[in-house]
Amino acid sequence: MNNNIFNKKDELIMSLVHYFVTEEDYSPINVRGAKNEIWLENLEAPYKIIRINSKYIHNEEQYNMDIFKLGFVVRQIKRKTLSFKMKVLNICLDMNDSVKLEEVKNINTISVNSISDLKKNKFLGELFPKIKTERLKRTDDIIKVLNATEDINKKTTKENNKYEEVFKPKKIIVTKIIIILCIIMYFLSLFISDNFNYSLLILGANNKSLVLKGEIYRLIACAFLHGGILHLVVNMYSLWIVGSQVENYIGKFKYIIIYLLSALMGSMFSLVFLGNSISIGASGAIFGLMGSLLYFGYHYRLYLSNALTNQLIPIIILNLFLGFCISGIDNMAHIGGLVGGYLATMIVGVKYKSTKSEMINGIIVYLLLIAFLTYAILKLA
């Protein structure tokens, strides 16, 4: 029995939401003050935002005002998601046929009045081929809603489980091991020789002349050495704060790779720009971990955008600024580590977000940069 509780517009809205959420990986988002509108986002899709508008638009003046309001909301979303460009698909379900749909930059508006129009729409068919075959399985209105709601809830629950897996607290092990190693190496450097600098050189301080002689291990070993107790304490505190987050969010094995690749990149930047001096410290690798959080945070920017813009980015800028103002700080290692950590995270990938092509691109860019730095070091030798 068909109860006819829902009209055709309700059925069309449910069909659209059901399709975009379950088939195209869009998620509903809350937009304050939006009535008779449904907003969906998928930051990996060609159209990052889809807006389904069921309000009646009877003339071009009302349509233009609606587009103006839409643009205002989109600008807010762009700021929140750190997006420079955002294409929007604006689907209007109740528009007077006389309204002329003018082309607006990055906003495509289509008018659809029924499910049959939806299936026949050439633009939607080319953009979302599966929409032509998407059908709710039952004809009874209540069963339609129940089935669609169940599908959407399953999809939402699956996504929530992914995010919970990524963000839930995990046991921190690797960061503790690195801190212990740095402490051991520091006290070892105190006892090897009365000449502290000589001790650092023996243990693996970064130095261009020695690296060019074949002692490549120094590019990594120097990240576990420190020049004083204050240097050690500051770096280990920073490592605990930043490293714990990277290990928790990205994983232990990936964390080790990021740390080592960041240290390597920071050491090579140091050799290019700082001549034949001695360079030591974990700060280059720590900046790499901050670069890693930048990459991770961008992929999860719907959840971490405030932390990125209000905490992480200002801390990075402040520390780089201090590095240029205070003598004795190897700021080139910081910059190299930051770049290396970003690229290293691109290489190992962010769970549920990274694609194989992104990871391959990360490998290519990292290797090209290493090759360029190697050439520069040899050229300036």
Q: Looking at the annotation, which residues are catalytic?
A: 283, 334
Residue 316 burial by CB count (10 A; 0-12/13-18/19+): exposed, middle or buried?
A: middle
State which H helix or E strand residue 222 sits in. none
Tell me the C-alpha distance between 250 and 299, whole Å.
12
Six-digit token string for 221: 């070993």
Length of the chain: 381
CB 281 within 8 A of CB 235: yes
Dihedral pair phi/psi, residue 96, rounded to 5°: -60, 135
User: CA 102: distance to chain centroid?
Assistant: 34
Query: Looking up tokens 């032509």, which residue turns up?
Result: 132
Q: How far apart are CA 251 and CA 348, in angstroms?
A: 10
What is the distance between the alpha carbons of residues 290 and 339, in angstroms, rounded to a whole number?
Answer: 10
The DSSP call for residue 195 is: S
